[in-house]
Structure 1
Amino acid sequence: MTKQLSDILHGVSYTTDEVVSGIAIRAVVADSRKVEPGSLFVCVKGLVVDGHDYVAAAAAKGAVAIIANRDRMQTLSRDHSLPILWVRDTRKAMGNIAAAFYDHPAAGLIMVGLTGTNGKTTTSYILEEVIRCAGGNPGVIGTINYRYGGGEFPAPFTTPEPLELQRLLREMVNSGVTHVVMEVSSHALAMYRIQGLLFDVALFTNLTRDHLDYHFTMEAYYQAKKRLFVDYLKDSGVAVIVVEASEDDWGRRLYDELSAARKGGLGALIACGLGIAGCDISAHNPVFRCGETRVAVQTSRGQVDVCSNLVGTFNLKNIVAAVGVAAGLRIDLASVTKALAQTIRVPGRLEAISVPGCQGLPSVFVDYAHTPDALQSVLTTLRQLAPARLFVVFGCGGDRDPGKRALMGEIAGRLADVVIITADNSRSESTESIMSEIERGVVMAGMERLDNHQKGDRGFALISARVQAIAYAIDLATAADIVLVSGKGHETYQITVKGSQFFDDRQEASKALAAKVQKMNNEGGE
């Protein structure tokens, strides 16, 4: 693919002393290692390295033009003869340039953006089925993977960087995708990864404590999320907001602020909630059973009778959110009802783990819950299933918000009967130090330590090796108990100071269950 530089600069405000006409661009890159002859090199300042320091390297590999920040005019290397185009923010410019380079693929798609702390991934799976049942051909960009054209592809980021994102959208258009459901992270919004896109429908699921190592305050976190609706939603677009009953709910605040801004007759605003008066989409008096949720969801166009395999209040909110997005897309209620009746399996989201061979095993679930609110939600849901004892195995990530560690410990100690504190992705931090911070919260909840891993009815233990922690919990549990392995969900790696290595909670839980079956069989034969 070759484009003229002047053609891919539309919408980009820049200054230069050079002539840009007649310069052919074969690739747009932000990594000097990926430069090839004919590349436009965009200098992006990252968290660790700054692309402005690699201009000479890009020039040596065949770059034909440079995009750089204006604040580097006095310090940028000039050991080359390449034209430099100066912009205010190279990240923002890169989004627009990438969209133009790939011929604005989103223009041929119906775009749905999902943002919020929790619920995005499950909602994306529901919407994928809704769009399919309505006759559309969905593509999904999200945390677990990217899905389109019958294929599934690894997801390095929840929301890709602009160049990868626009390339992906172009491939989706070429494969016949009609609707794209995209999880939009707060990092992506803060870093302009979706610059150059406008969405037809945008959903806000919730906002709870997470990513404060990056945003520092909840207010800054909220403002990043709000940008999806203020900067990236079409004037005719529909904003769908999940609201809670509490007055200090972030969703309620967003709804009120968008309502005030949209009095001029811009696109619609849809409020979704559970038993909350005044909501456009509402669910009342749900019935939860093991493996089943039944509820009637009221909409302005009629009632959706839901019978879903997704269980728990938090999943009901995801269902209501999906119904709201479907309303924004003007999808008929029959298609919505049909989609919600399908078995929807979301990898690592309250995923049941089982092995053949024995009926006397505990119920084991793997979930991605890695925030205080998510952990509380999933433990509350499992507690409603009335186990004899509820086990939870979890840790917290290193080099991330340390303030949530004790909070999650307190939640686990309050809602579970047996808590096994272990490693998550410790990264550069000490696993033992992280576990100690979690332990403080567990003790605050009034839970006592299980000395020498004694088989008590209630208590906590610290086992730093995650594989051993999972095995211990499953070995200790009985057929009447439930074991939750939380924090990593679908992830197939564990990151330590030594780097990344393969690790899958689902695989380790399956191994532990198989070992328990073998142990029970051996004991039964003695």
Structure 2
Amino acid sequence: MVTLRPSHTQPVALGELATQLGLPAPGSAVAVAGVTLDSRSVRSGDLYAALPGANVHGASFAAGAAAAGAVAILTDPTGAEVITGAGVDLPVLVVPDPRAVLGGLAARVYASPPAGLALVGITGTNGKTTTAYLLDSALRALGQQVGLVGTVETRVGPTRVKSERTTPESTEVHALLAAMHEAGCATCVMEVSSHALTLHRVDGVVYDVAVFTNLSQDHLDHHGSMERYFQAKASLFTPERARHGIVCVDDQWGRRLAADAPIPVTTLAGGAEADADWRIIADPDDPAAFALTGTDATLDLRSALPGDFNRVNTALAALVLLQLGHDVDDVVAAVRTDPHVPGRMERVTPTGGGTAPLAVVDYAHTPEAVAAALAALRGHTAGSIVVVLGAGGDRDTTKRAAMGAAAAHGAALVIVTDDNPRSEEPAAIRAAVLAGARSADATAQISEIPDRREAISAAVAEAIRRGPGSAVAVVGKGHESGQDIAGVVHPFDDRVELQTALDAWCGGGA
């Protein structure tokens, strides 16, 4: 497990941390140089946070943490009893909810967020990763060292580490911010998930700019309702978490957020007729070109990725750059830099080139994202669209039928297959998606091929059979390089499998 931290920290007395928590100072003089909640990541001088887990309490690993060099432990009353029973001889800070105070402690130990590092936090159901990569690309074009934290990877300057979740735990977040500052980064661009906001992962961070892309059904297994999901997102746009907001008002949630946010907000609308500070005016002759028009300026921009939603993502990135103080002309030039956004409307071609159907992989895993991806693809093909999709197990079950319906409305052929079934029965997940597709008032053909590799190959073959101008969209997993089946992650990359199928059916471009 790779954990990125600064190479140097100024140790903080454990007594100072106890005082911060309102606890009496421990009797021993202990200095804390790092913080972690993962016993496998403990380094000498660390405060180990032993948190209650879904199956095992982190206090069960306290002895191992002590052996690895931990100098103190933060836990709850239950954890304290476990630690005492295990005979671990370390100072213990006991609070009712250790997760809720962990961000503040990590911020103190890592002196984070560091002065001079501009922070951008991006939230929303769809578009977080694309907007983050657009910003990263533009900032690099402006000559900056950039830190990136998100669904695909974490970057500290040139160093890259594959991400385990969209937003890391608070201990990692503050360590990363300190490491970015140490590496000379001028800006950190971070995807901020709703889970991160409700589970205290970004506590202690105040973003210079917070960005809202959109809100649609997702993660209701965690939040329980759209209202609670919205409130989680809206909490980013408070003085405790951000100084300025940029909000897309194309949906009801964005309009509500812009009206109610207690911080200054700049609004963006995807159409010329909408009421907003900035509006997108599409070029009728060029789907990639558009004008971003505000009260005092107009920026002539181009979207490097297809679809109306990517014009919005591009405009959001431009507005962030303006808010950070970059010159208009520099912003236009920087945003025109062509980024690589892994698994987001990512085109896949045969190894040897040659004639093949237009084929893309996209991370779309909500009804709205599936519809938007297929609509974007429709703008680039005159033939039939064949879509391969499934739905993830152990996640929001209520969106599965709607995903199937969205696919049926946007494609000529829908091939339902397995995504990441995780601990659920794959056939039951497919049945829900199939039911939605078949109930849609659409003319699409519906097919079921459980094996995802076979489904992708069949989609390419069918697109070829349907003739020139046809296209293939493989949606749901995007950049992911594994398929989780019954707790075992098997190597599987939609981009690799799609290219293999194109090579097989198109003769490798020969």
The normalised TM-score by structure 1 is: 0.88
The equivalent position to 2:228 in structure 1, one of 220, 231, 244, is: 220
1:310-459 equivalences in 2 (<5 Å): 310-355=305-350, 357=352, 359-446=354-441, 458-459=444-445
Q: What's the secondary structure of 2:420's corresponding residue?
A: coil
From 255, 258, 261, the counterpart of 1:255: 258
Contact 2:75 2:95 in 1 (8 A): yes
2:448: which partner in 1?
462
1:271 counterpart = 2:278: no
**Cα distance change, pair 315–11 in 1 and its aligned pair in 2 (3 A):** farther
Aligned mates of 1:64, 1:324 — CA distance in 2? 45
Q: Is contact 2:268–2:316 with CA below 8 Å preserved after alignment?
A: yes
Give the corresponding residue for 2:53: 46
Partners of 1:350 and 1:366 within 8 A in 2: yes
Q: Which amino acid aligns with 1:120?
A: K
User: What is the CA distance between 1:76 and its match in structure 2?
Assistant: 6.6
Partners of 1:520 and 1:124 in 2: CA distance:
34
Whole-angstrom distance in 1 between the partners of 2:171 and 2:25: 26
Residue 518 of structure 1: aligned partner: 507
Encode CA deviations 1:115-154: one digit per residue, 9 max, x unaligned.
1111111111221233234443222111111223233321
Deviation at 1:210, TM superposition (A): 0.8
1:23 aligns with 2:27: no
Q: Is the 8 A contact 2:14 2:32 kept in 1?
A: no
Give a deviation string over 1:441-481, Cα, whole Å, max 9, x none: 01101568xxxxxxxxx511111110000000101112320
Q: Give the distance between the partners of 1:400 and 1:288, measured in 2 at CA.
A: 41
Identity of aligned residues (%): 37
Which residue pairs with 1:489 in the alignment? Answer: 478
The within-5 A match list for 1:42-441 is 42-55=49-62, 58-59=65-66, 63-69=70-76, 77=84, 79-230=87-238, 232-234=240-242, 237-244=243-250, 249-258=252-261, 261-262=262-263, 268-275=264-271, 276-287=273-284, 289=286, 293-355=288-350, 357=352, 359-441=354-436
Amino acid at match of 1:471: S
Greater Cα offset, 197-206 or 48-57: 48-57
SS of the residue 1:140 aligns to: strand
Match of 2:489, as an amino acid?
Answer: S
Code of the aligned partner of 2:260: E
CA distance in 1, matches of 2:45, 2:293: 56
C-alpha spacing 1:378/1:35, structure 2 compared with 1 (3 Å): closer
Given that 2:353 and 2:508 are in contact with CA atoms closer than 8 Å, whether structure 1 keeps it comes out as no
Find the aligned partners of 1:48 and 1:380 in 2 and give their Cα distance: 43
Paired amino acid for 1:460? I
Q: CA deviation at 1:345?
A: 2.3
SS of residue in 2 equivalent to 1:254? helix
Is the contact made by 2:386 and 2:462 (CA closer than 8 Å) also made in structure 1?
no
Verify the 8 A CA contact 1:110 1:178 in the aligned structure 2.
yes
Please give the secondary structure, in 1, of the residue aligned with 2:114: helix
- Please, which moves more after superposition, 158-167 or 25-34? 25-34
Deviation at 1:179, TM superposition (A): 0.6
| Corresponding residue SS for 1:131 | helix
The Cα shift of 1:96 comes to 1.6
**Number of residues paired by the alignment?**
497
Higher alpha-carbon deviation: 9-18 or 132-141: 9-18
Give 2:499's aligned amino acid.
Answer: S
C-alpha distance 12-116 of structure 1, shift in aligned 2 (>3 A): farther
Q: 1:40 to 1:318 in 2, by over 3 A?
A: same
Indicate how the Cα distance of structure 1 residues 312 and 33 shifts in structure 2: closer, same or farther if over 3 A, else same: closer
Paired residue type of 1:191: L
> In 2, distance between residues paired with 1:81 and 1:129?
49
Residue 58 of structure 2 contacts residue 79 of structure 2 at CA under 8 Å; is this kept in 1?
A: no
Moved more, 507-516 or 83-92: 83-92
Coordinate RMSD, CA, aligned: 2.5
Counterpart residue identity of residue 431, structure 1: P
Bigger shift: residues 84-93 or 340-349: 84-93
Tell me how far 1:176 sits from its aligned partner: 0.9
Structure 1 residue 364, shift from structure 2 partner: 0.5
CA distance in 1, matches of 2:439, 2:493: 31
Q: Which runs of 5+ in 2 are unaligned?
A: 1-8
Aligned partners of 1:358, 1:42: CA distance in 2, in Å?
A: 52
1:265 counterpart residue number: none
Deviates more, 1:59-68 or 1:487-496: 59-68
Q: Is the 8 A contact 1:134 1:331 kept in 2?
A: no
Contact 1:493 1:501 in 2 (8 A): yes
Does structure 2 retain, via aligned residues, the 8 Å contact 1:2–1:24?
no
Aligned pair in 2 of structure 1 residues 288, 374: CA closer, same or farther (>3 Å)?
farther
Cα separation, 2, equivalents of 1:216 and 1:360: 47
Which consecutive residues of structure 1, in runs of 5 or more, have no partner in the other structure?
263-267, 449-457, 522-526
Paired residues of 1:68 and 1:84 also in contact (CA < 8 A) = yes
CA shift, 1:433, in A, is: 1.1
For 1:68 and 1:520, the matched residues in 2 are separated by 59
1:477 alignment partner, one of 450, 459, 463: 463
Conserved? CA contact 2:122–2:212, under 8 Å: yes
Q: Alpha carbons of 1:29 and 1:307: their partners in 2 closer, same or farther (altered >3 Å)?
A: closer
| Cα distance in structure 2, aligned partners of 1:143 and 1:130 | 19
Looking at structure 1, the residues matched to 148 and 92 of structure 2 have their Cα atoms a distance apart, in angstroms, of 36
Residue 5 of structure 2 corresponds to none
Counterpart amino acid of residue 43 in structure 1: A
